[in-house]
Amino acid sequence: MNCGQALEQARLILTDSGIDEPFLEGEILLRHTLDVDRATLFASLNEELTPVQVALFLQLVERRRLGEPSAYITGSREFFGLDFKVDRRVLIPRPETELVVEKAIDLYRRNKYDTMADIGTGSGCIAISLARHLAGVHVYALDISSDALEIAAQNSLLHHVQDKITFIHGDLLEPLPGPVDIMIANLPYVKKTEMNLKSEPELALDGGVEGLDKINNLCRQAPGKIIPGGRLLLEIGQGQAEAVKAIIHNTFPDGVIDIYKDLSGIDRVVSVRLTG
């Protein structure tokens, strides 16, 4: 079997099982099997695989067919142009979360902010992307899951930004040492009734009955934890913008709110500028 035939076989198997983007998924698994980048794979479509490579590749395709996410199979996921180590202890970074990173970078450049907090850091994808892109920044990265913090710390070493990030274990803002210029949070926001857990940690997704428990609690704790004139950036779920605006209005009645849409046109990021 050559590389092109292996990709076609994976596509057929994964299509049959209703897996989204079956060709792309097969490509990710074959690249992982051969440890090659995309360009090398597509330049080698006529090259024969060894029997060991075929067996290993088909095992991975079978795991994917049974529902395991490819990021957990390969142990990594790309986010904001960087590869992050992931396993079942953390949420797999989502492309739509890149929006909150873009907004934070833009604010940093326009306002010369230098301390940030990433609440619910998970794999560390937000904190590490910011630390990699912004020269003078220091990021506090908090999570209630010590497993997640372990992976985030490994990712910070992988991307050589460990000196720019302080990892802190604890519940929401309780352990945050002082006010920051920008606070970013992608907290769990899935409604309890809409939880469809397959492999990812419940702690990373479960936002309570309306999906807003964690966002609500964070907003209640936020006064005094962001400097006057600073920003709060929240990632939200589809249809949550109005409810989140109301929560923010309660805590920061004078806060200036902007909502940003993701590439699918869904309200995804709520930005609050604190007056003062």
Ligand X SMILES: C[S@@+](CC[C@H](N)C(=O)[O-])C[C@H]1O[C@@H](n2cnc3c(N)ncnc32)[C@H](O)[C@@H]1O
Q: Which residues bind ligand X (CB under 6 A)?
A: 91, 93, 97, 120-123, 125-126, 142-145, 148, 171-172, 186-188, 203-204, 214
Least distance from C-beta 14 to ligand X, angstroms? 24
Cα(22)–Cα(7) distance, integer angstroms: 9
Cα(224)–Cα(106) distance, integer angstroms: 23
Is 56 or 144 the residue whose CB approaches ligand X more closely? 144
Report how far apart, in Å, the C-alpha atoms of 70 and of each of 6, 63, 67, 147 are. Answer: 17, 9, 9, 20
Is 61 or 236 the residue whose CB approaches ligand X more closely? 236
**Partners of 48 in the β-ladder:** 2
Least distance from C-beta 93 to ligand X, angstroms? 4
Least distance from C-beta 95 to ligand X, angstroms? 11
Least distance from C-beta 123 to ligand X, angstroms? 6
Is 38 or 169 the residue whose CB approaches ligand X more closely? 169
Is 36 or 168 the residue whose CB approaches ligand X more closely? 168
Q: How many CB atoms lie within 10 A of CB 62?
A: 12
Is 59 or 199 the residue whose CB approaches ligand X more closely? 199
Least distance from C-beta 193 to ligand X, angstroms? 18
Report how far apart, in Å, the C-alpha atoms of 236 and of each of 205, 226, 245, 250 are. Answer: 12, 19, 11, 17
Is 33 or 97 the residue whose CB approaches ligand X more closely? 97
H/E run at residue 251: helix 241-251
| Cβ atoms of 140 and 117 closer than 8 Å | yes
Cα(171)–Cα(166) distance, integer angstroms: 15
Least distance from C-beta 67 to ligand X, angstroms? 20
Radius of gyration of the chain (CA): 20
Cα(134)–Cα(138) distance, integer angstroms: 9
